[in-house]
Amino acid sequence: MDFSHPHFAEPQWLWLTLAAPLLLAALQGYSARARRRQLARMAAPEFLAALTRSHSPARYLLKNVLLLLAVAGVGLALARPQWGEQTEISHLYGQDTLFILDCSRSMLASDLAPSRLQRAKLALRDYVQHRGRGRVGLVACAGQAFLQCPLTYDYAAFQDALAAVDDQAIPVPGTDLGRALDEASRALAKSRPPRLCVLLTDGEDLERGGIRAAQTLAKQGLIVFTIGVGTAAGAEIQFTNEHGQRETLRDRHGEVVRSRLDEATLRAIAQATGGAYFPLGPLGEGLARVQLALADLQAGPASAPARKLGVDRFHWPVAGVLALLILESLIGTRRRLRDINA
């Protein structure tokens, strides 16, 4: 075992190692004095020795000492003792990536089966599942934007957050890509460059703020890859109304709404930030092309940063605490019979 570089990762808990046993010792002392006073009131001094003859002060003291040591061990465990070192290397594709998923009503169009939204979710799920490195996060957007999943290495948590996104996830209707990009930029604020964002949408930016936001955020180092979800021919939008019936979306004049992929807007957003535009495609191949493009932006394994991390050893004081508590429970406070009769 490597015993080099011993230290505590959370030294602020070390006060508990001293303070808690002292407080417990004070309480034990007060309890013992109160018990003696109570016994003195119950029996005359000449009978008190006979009443407490079977009690072993040494055993009682030993139990208290073991309990005090166990409490001190809890403080040591919370302080996270570490010794030895392990190396953490950030490999290729280890960069933080924030995904923006458009879940507005236009994403219910079925020009990509079974719908644009479902096809984008399936492609994103497969992409993250096989990506294997780096933190990922998710912003859901419609008329507003919401950080559905903060940046995390927990891919299962990301997949759960992704599965929960539907056309009801954002209560405000419409599509505001500018607000979505702002939310993504805030989520990436503490990430090391390049700050990468992948936007999956049909490009129908009803608030017309996406390109302007991209131009502003590009100055802050944000790089946006846009993924076009849909087709130029477009499709009608089918949704389920409040009565559980399927309905076709119509405008205020009663005309059927046909949603089409706006590639021009998506290309402009990507170009403004130094990213690239790719159509999603029927099999999600657009995201695979994003992964290839990221290889040109990220450092390879030879130049990737490495960190020396201490190895947690908190399980040792935890094991000691358990052993002390078990031992304390096995020790009684009564003398052995032959000691009493001696």
For residue range 157-169, list pLDDT tens digits in order.
999 999 999 988 8
User: Residue range 4-10: average pLDDT?
Assistant: 83
The more confidently predicted of residues 53 and 8 is 8
Q: Looking at the 3D structure of the chain, how many domains does it have?
A: 2
pLDDT tens for residues 236-250? Answer: 888 777 777 778 778
* Confidence bin at 139 (pLDDT 50/70/90): very high
Residues 237 and 294 in one domain: yes
Determine, yes or no, domain membership for 82.
yes
Rounded percentage of the chain residues whose pLDDT exceeds 70: 85
Residues 103 and 247 in one domain: yes
The more confidently predicted of residues 8 and 240 is 8
Label the pairing between strands 238-240 and 246-248. antiparallel
CATH number for position 273: 3.40.50.410
Instruction: Note if the pTM is more than 0.75.
Output: no
Least confident interval from 152-156, 268-272, 299-303, 308-312: 299-303
Handedness of CA 317, 323, 329, 333 (dihedral sign): negative
For 277, phi and psi rounded to 5 degrees? Answer: -110, 135
Residues 275 and 202 in one domain: yes
Other residues' Cβ atoms within 10 Å of the Cβ of residue 249: 16
Determine, yes or no, domain membership for 181.
yes
Residues 291 and 314 in one domain: no
Range of the structural domain that residue 295 is part of: 97-300
Q: What HEC string does 182-246 produce?
A: HHHHHHCCCCCCCEEEEEEECCCCCCCCHHHHHHHHHCCCEEEEEEECCCCCCEECEEECCCCCE
**What is the per-residue pLDDT for 254?**
78
For 266, phi and psi rounded to 5 degrees? Answer: -70, -40
Determine, yes or no, domain membership for 2.
no
pLDDT tens for residues 27-86? Answer: 888 887 887 777 677 666 666 555 566 667 788 788 888 888 998 899 899 988 888 776
Determine, yes or no, domain membership for 92.
no
**What is the per-residue pLDDT for 300?**
43
Residues 158 and 234 in one domain: yes
Residues 319 and 293 in one domain: no
Residues 77 and 110 in one domain: no
Determine, yes or no, domain membership for 55.
yes
Residues 43 and 67 in one domain: yes
Determine, yes or no, domain membership for 62.
yes
